[in-house]
Amino acid sequence: MAALVAKLKEKFTMKQLGEANHFLGIKIDHTHDKYFLSQSSYAKSIIQMAGLPKCNPVANPSITKITALKSEDPPLFDALTYRRIIGSLQYLTLTRPDIAYAVNMLSQHMHSPEPIHTVMLKKLLRYIQGSLDFGLPITKSTLLLRTYSDADWASDPATRRSTTGFCTFLGDTLISWSVKKQNTVSRSSTESEYRALASATADTIWIKRLLAEFGVTQSEPVEIFCDNTSTIALANNPVFHARTKHIEIDQRFIRDHILNKVILLLPISTIDQIADVLTKPLSTPRFKILRSKLTVSSYTQFEGGC
């Protein structure tokens, strides 16, 4: 580290300010071999903005039974406040992938939020109230990449578009994740999973090349886990059928990288699919299990593990 700083000082005017503690609103706690990134102060300011400083916490950011909500009730937030809160929550997801799905879903209604969406937003804010000290740990481990890819078929009741979710780990550290509604309607769960897999593959390859520029090469194919057996079979099938012609570009893209041993597509059970937490609302016990596997934890847990 000292040698790197000395080289930089030869070319740039610099000051050594010591260990980083805050960066763009992100708090950085550290020990001799671990770091913990959190945004507790920023999260508190969002709750304050919403006028809910004393709201009761809940254990789940999403509502699993939306049909049980009454749409005729008055909105809890006006449209402007709704947009301001959602915009702030999008930045909070930098260290809180556990709320990524809920924020993504609510962001799709920023142009015209209905009362039901404000109720769901309040539920999300109450979850954040009970998890203010949550964040992402960065731990010393292996430098092997692995990715989990998943999709929730036809999850949007209005458009019937599917939701893509994937996350990538470098060793034990979560370094990338994504939640996105797919651009087109998929005619089967296999098609939606395949589109998600293509997006996950592209992101993984980009990360692999970036790491190579830092001298961290992946000598073995990067493992990508998918819980849809039909998708895996399609990816490994060298024959292109008429029924898969509309996704042939994605199919060839994935197959080329499999044949070139850039990636290795592996099956995984739905129970162990970490990316499931990024594609749909889950029951509280299931959500907590996957949140833990996503490595999102409280600062108290981080301290206890040191």
Can you give the pLDDT at residue 110? 92
Give me the amino acid identity at 207.
I
Give the confidence band of 84 by pLDDT, cuts at 50, 70, 90: very high
For the chain, the average pLDDT equals: 89
Q: Would you say residue 4 has pLDDT above 80?
A: no
Can you give the pLDDT at residue 242? 44
Percent pLDDT > 70 in the chain is: 92
Can you give the pLDDT at residue 163? 96
Can you give the pLDDT at residue 70? 61
**Segment 140-162, tens digit of pLDDT:** 899 999 999 999 999 888 899 99
**Segment 148-201, tens digit of pLDDT:** 999 999 988 889 999 999 999 999 999 999 999 999 899 889 899 999 999 999
Q: What is the mean pLDDT of residues 96-117?
A: 94
Can you give the pLDDT at residue 246? 53
Domains of the chain: 37-135+282-292 (no CATH), 141-268 (3.30.420.10)
User: What strands, in cross-sheet order, belong to the sheet with 222-226?
Assistant: 173-181, 163-170, 145-152, 222-226, 263-267
Q: What is the mean pLDDT of residues 94-102?
A: 97
Give the confidence band of 305 by pLDDT, cuts at 50, 70, 90: low
Can you give the pLDDT at residue 33? 81
**Segment 34-47, tens digit of pLDDT:** 899 999 999 999 99
Q: What are phi and psi of 226, to 5 degrees?
A: -135, 140
Q: Would you say residue 240 has pLDDT above 60?
A: no
Can you give the pLDDT at residue 238? 60
Structure pTM?
0.90
Residues in the chain: 306
